[in-house]
């Protein structure tokens, strides 16, 4: 599935790379552009795969339709169809669990705690909540794994609920369709079935394979790791987070590997920490949530983007069709409430291209009076990914209303355009 996509997109091809820092150098050089590395420890590697253009192409839509498509699909998540197709198992080779040390799993940066799986979709199941699919960084040790679990996320909730019974079944799938990655990066209600959502995103049933050593069904990725999350804890980290800065070391749960499978000629997906792919996969699923939250108070919202400069997490730009004075400020407040990690938000009119930083800056330069249009909120709960956050986890948040005041003559603000007609 991922191989078909790779063949259909424009990409940079590189003959070979070392998995220790070599993959990183190449992916950083071409950050945001898909890169296919033909040989890393005898394996093929794809990186920078999921930019906005590739995700849109994989879903058969345009980039400008991504937010509305995701929102529509999230609202129809229960309609997703999952089909077990165990015939796909014949495509896989069983490896000894220690063979994972020969896989092309990168060491990205000099201070990393070791090789890290960064694109693995982690799948667990709970008898009350159902299936959960999510993405977490996973440190590879000699014969086991250590997984970073953020306390507020659903995986941690399911783990703490079930670990008292001894161990928690888990599967990690590497090299999946972008729709599965996008779905796994989406935060819904704890009963939200990410795999069904992926099916709706794709517009077709999602095939699954029954695992051999754990009670789970998983999408047919390039690599499948089955295992048990245990009560045992080990140090995880240091590791680079979305801001490109190092996260701290913590005690995190150990995963015991029970089965290791790969396709005969698998393609490993290396997701660069702090790269554009990392930012897009984290931020893109938040845009429909912000859009929906803003739409509740400003129905004429047009589009939302979490910007790359703001790590696709801390900064948003929102375009609206302004109809009443105050729409801009209401949009700011709704956006901050919809995505609590948001730190700064700019609201613009719908003649501004929110994907063009120069256009957004133009709106700020020509349509903003700071004493009237800048909103500052002190002492709000901030994002743990922001290195400037205060010790008590609070931060100041800011909104800029860069829309044209309805008290002004709109014609004074509209940029001239040359007629397309010939003179």
Known catalytic residue at 241:
yes
Which of 112, 169, 241, 327 is an active site residue? 241
Q: What is the 3-state secondary structure (H, E, C) of the chain?
A: CHHHHHHHCCCEEECCCCCECHHHHHHHHCCCCCEEEEEECCEEEEECCCCHHHHHHHHCCCHHHHHHHHHHHHHCHHHCCEEECHHHHHHEEEECHHHHHHCCCCECCCCCCCCEECCCEEEEEECCCEEEEEECCEEECCCEEEECCCCCCHHHHHHHHHHHHCCEEEEEEECCCHHHHHHHCCCCCCCCCHHHHHHHHHCCCEEEEECCCCCCEECCCCEEEEEEEEEEEEEECCEECCCCCEECCEEEEEEEEEEEEEECCCEEEECCCCCHHHHHHHHCCHHHHHHHHHHCCCCCEEEEEECCCCCCCCEEEEEECCCCCCHHHHHHHHHHHHCCCCCEEEEEECCCCCCCHHHHHHHHHHHCCHHHHEEEEEEEECCCCCCCCCCCCEEEEEEEEECCCCCCCHHHCCCCCCCCCCC
Would you name the residues annotated as active-site residues? 241
């Amino acid at each position: 599935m991922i191989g078909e996509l790779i063949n259909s997109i424009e990409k940079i091809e590189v003959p070979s790379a070392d998995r220790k820092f070599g993959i990183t150098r190449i992916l950083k050089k071409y950050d945001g552009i898909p890169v296919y590395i033909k040989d890393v420890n005898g394996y093929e590697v794809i990186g920078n795969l999921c930019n906005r253009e590739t995700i849109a192409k994989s879903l058969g839509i345009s980039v400008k339709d991504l937010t509305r498509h995701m929102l529509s699909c999230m609202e129809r998540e229960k309609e997703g169809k999952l089909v077990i197709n165990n015939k796909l198992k014949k495509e896989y080779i069983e490896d000894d669990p220690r063979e994972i040390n020969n896989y092309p799993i990168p060491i990205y940066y000099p201070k990393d705690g070791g090789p890290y799986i960064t694109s693995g979709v982690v799948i667990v199941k709970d008898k009350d909540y159902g299936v959960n699919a999510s993405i977490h960084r996973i440190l590879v040790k000699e014969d086991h794994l250590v997984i970073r679990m953020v306390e507020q996320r659903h995986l941690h909730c399911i783990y703490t609920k079930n670990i008292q019974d001894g161990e928690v079944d888990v599967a990690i799938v590497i090299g999946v369709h972008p729709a599965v990655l996008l779905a796994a990066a989406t935060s819904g209600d704890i009963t939200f079935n990410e795999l069904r959502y992926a099916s709706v995103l794709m517009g077709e049933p999602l095939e699954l394979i029954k695992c051999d050593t754990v009670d789970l069904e998983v999408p047919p990725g390039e690599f499948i790791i089955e295992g048990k999350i245990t009560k045992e804890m080990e140090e995880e980290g240091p590791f680079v987070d979305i801001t490109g800065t190092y996260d701290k070391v913590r005690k995190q749960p150990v995963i015991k590997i029970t089965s290791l499978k790969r396709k005969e000629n698998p393609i490993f997906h290396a997701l660069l920490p702090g790269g554009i792919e990392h930012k897009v996969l984290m931020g893109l699923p938040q845009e429909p949530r912000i859009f929906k939250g803003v739409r509740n108070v400003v129905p004429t919202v047009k589009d939302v983007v979490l910007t790359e400069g703001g790590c696709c997490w801390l900064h948003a730009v929102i375009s609206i069709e302004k109809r009443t004075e105050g729409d801009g400020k209401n949009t700011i407040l709704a956006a901050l409430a919809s995505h609590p990690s948001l730190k700064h938000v700019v609201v613009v009119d719908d003649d501004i291209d929110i994907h063009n930083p120069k256009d957004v800056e133009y709106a700020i330069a020509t349509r903003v009076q700071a004493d009237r249009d800048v909103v500052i909120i002190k002492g709000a709960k901030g994002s743990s990914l922001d290195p400037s956050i205060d010790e008590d986890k609070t931060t100041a948040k800011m909104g800029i209303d860069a829309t044209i005041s309805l008290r002004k003559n709109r014609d004074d603000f509209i940029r001239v355009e040359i007629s397309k007609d010939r003179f």
